[in-house]
Structures are given as C-alpha cells and as structure tokens.
C-alpha cells in the first residue's frame, strides 16, 4: 500500500510539470511551439537568482533560432500551457523594444508586466485555465513603441510555497515584432534576475495551507505597467471577476484594455516553422490561419511532452 501511494504521488508531481507550447495573435497561430524558446524539459526553475528565471533553461542563448511573430499594440494574445494541478498565478511581461528579438537575452533591466491572473472567485489561474483547455487570453497594451520584444509567460506553482525556495517557476519566452504608436517607455520596469527574492511574501507563504487569504494575492513582478504616456497609451485594466470564468465559446478575458483589440491581417502559405537551430537567421513570420478549433490543442501536435520528475 505504501509503495503504491508513493508511486501515485510521484506521478502526480511529474504530470504537474508543464511548458508553454503555443500562442495565438488575434485568433491566428504560427503553429505548435513556433515563435517560442522551448526549454530542454518541463521542469520548473526554483533558483530565482539564476539567469534561468528570465526565459527558462537555455532561454538566454542567442541567436535563438526562433521565428519572430508579427503583432500590433492592442492585439489579443492567447497562450496555451500543459495541464497543471498546482495552484498559482499566470503573468506576462514584455522586454523591449529591441532591434532583433532573436539576439536579445532578456537578462537585466527592461522587463515590464502587462498582464496577470491570480485568484478569482475561489479559483487560482491554473484552475480557471483548465476550464478552457489550459488557455489564457489578454491584450497587448496600447502605446507600445514599434519594435521587437520578448514576451515572457510565467506560471508560478505555490503548492510548496510554505518552505523557502519552494516556489516553482514555469517560464516560456516568445518573440514578437510589434507595430505600435507609442514613443515613450512603459513603466514600472524590473530587472531579471534580481526582482524576485526568495522570501518575498508572494513567493514564500508559510501559512499557504493554514489560514492564507488568497483573495488579496498579487503575483511577483510589480504592478501592471502603463505604456506610451502622453502618446495615447493606456494601462490594461483587469476584467470584472465574472468575466474571468471562461465560457464554452470563448477564451477567458482577463486584462483587457478599454479599446477593442486590433485585428491583424495575414496571408501566408508557408507551414509554421518549428525547427530551431542556433545558426538560423532571424525571421519575422506572418502567422497562418488557425482552424475553427484553435482553442483546443492542435491535432498535428505531439500528444504529450516528455515528463521529468
């Protein structure tokens, strides 16, 4: 009986490991794992002082060999992750603008938060995402300067947060070429590594299973930034709590700006490029039309990612 229980527990931990695999820009996807700096495994980053906290293991390698995907300020972005039973938030940050996203490590100052989903109506972000095929939708802020950016998607698992160093960070970075109208910086900005401390109250939570009030929880990374001050930019506003619950017909809308997302017109017959090599020349790829079942995992994608305990 004890052996069976131990094995079951280990399997539960392994299957909770996860990666960021796919994203959509205004309903269009470049393909499975396209445009994303994929890590070598689905294991978490736990050393928040290491460069791995930026874009995961090997995420700072340049040139990245990853395609850079076109978007616009105000574009609706939908991300899809592996299933996870671990409670915690999801956040998104941008780094840029830079001349060439494939050459940017992201290490250092310049990151700013554009979206977060924490704990809504008694459910953590991972539980809300589970209701919509592990997807989460948000909008790029208005007032961004034109250029290339790293988009950092982070899911923080808090199931072991009652011990110092117990927070598990799952991270993936995508590359975007954003057309914007802003001329000034977004703020506030943070430095990675550096901004996260192991005893921060949103990372180390000794009473997580004993009296912790999750309703007031705020994810690491500071406040959601304001972009393009004085140039028509606006700060993304969280959606009402009721809209955070996904419906069967649409992905959950969480931090949506007051303006409607701009639609990107694309035309490309090229297949999504998923193979990455360190010597590949950086490209800006126009995304291909997603099928009507875009909210679900693509049928051509691998059914599972290798699990690491």
Q: Reduced to 3 states, what is the DSSP secondary structure of residue 137?
A: strand
Task: For the chain, report the end-to-end CA distance as a whole number of angstroms.
Answer: 21
pLDDT at 178: 98
Residue among 26, 57, 102 at smallest CA distance from 283:
102
Say which residue the tokens 């995420």 belong to: 59
pLDDT per position as a tens digit, 216-236: 999 999 999 998 754 333 344
CB 264 within 8 A of CB 287: yes
Closest Cα to residue 157, out of 91, 207, 89? 89
User: Looking at residue 40, what is its pLDDT?
Assistant: 97
Q: How far apart are CA 268 and CA 115, in angstroms?
A: 29
The list of the chain residues with pLDDT below 70 reads 1-15, 229-309
* pLDDT for residue 42: 96
Task: Give the pLDDT of residue 30.
Answer: 98
Is-cis flag, bond preceding 279, omega within 30? no
Asked whether 233 and 182 are in contact (CB, 8 A), the reply is yes
Residue pointed to by tokens 């017959």: 269
Of the candidates 53, 307, 80, 44, the one whose C-alpha atom is nearest the C-alpha of residue 160 is 44
- What domains, with CATH codes, occur in the chain? 2-285 (2.70.50.70)
């Amino acid at each position: 009986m004890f052996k069976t229980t131990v094995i079951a527990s280990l399997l539960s931990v392994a299957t909770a490991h996860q990666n960021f695999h796919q994203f959509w820009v205004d309903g269009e996807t470049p393909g499975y794992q396209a445009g994303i700096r994929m890590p070598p495994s689905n294991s978490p980053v736990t050393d928040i002082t290491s460069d791995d906290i930026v874009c995961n293991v090997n995420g700072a390698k340049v040139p990245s060999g990853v395609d850079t995907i076109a978007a616009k300020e105000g574009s609706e972005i939908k991300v899809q992750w592996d299933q996870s039973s671990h409670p915690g938030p999801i956040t998104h940050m941008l780094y840029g603008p830079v001349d060439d996203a494939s050459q940017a490590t992201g290490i250092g100052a310049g990151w700013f938060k554009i979206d977060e989903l924490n704990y809504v109506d008694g459910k953590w972000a991972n539980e809300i995402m589970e209701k919509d095929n592990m997807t989460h939708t948000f909008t790029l802020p208005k007032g961004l300067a034109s250029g290339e950016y790293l988009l950092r998607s982070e899911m923080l698992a808090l199931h072991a947060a009652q011990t110092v160093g117990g927070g598990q960070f799952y991270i993936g970075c995508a590359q975007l070429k954003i057309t914007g109208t802003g001329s000034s910086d977004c703020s506030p900005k943070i430095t990675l590594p550096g901004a996260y401390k192991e005893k921060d109250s949103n990372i180390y939570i000794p009473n997580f299973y004993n009296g912790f009030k999750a309703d007031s929880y705020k994810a690491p990374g500071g406040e959601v930034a304001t972009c393009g001050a004085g140039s028509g930019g606006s700060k993304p506003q969280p959606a009402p709590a009721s809209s955070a619950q996904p419906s069967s017909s649409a992905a959950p809308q969480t931090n949506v700006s007051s303006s409607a997302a701009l639609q990107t017109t694309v035309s490309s017959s090229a297949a999504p490029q998923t193979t990455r090599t360190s010597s590949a020349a950086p490209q800006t790829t126009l995304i291909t039309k997603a099928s009507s079942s875009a909210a679900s995992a693509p049928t051509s994608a691998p059914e599972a990612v290798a699990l690491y305990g």
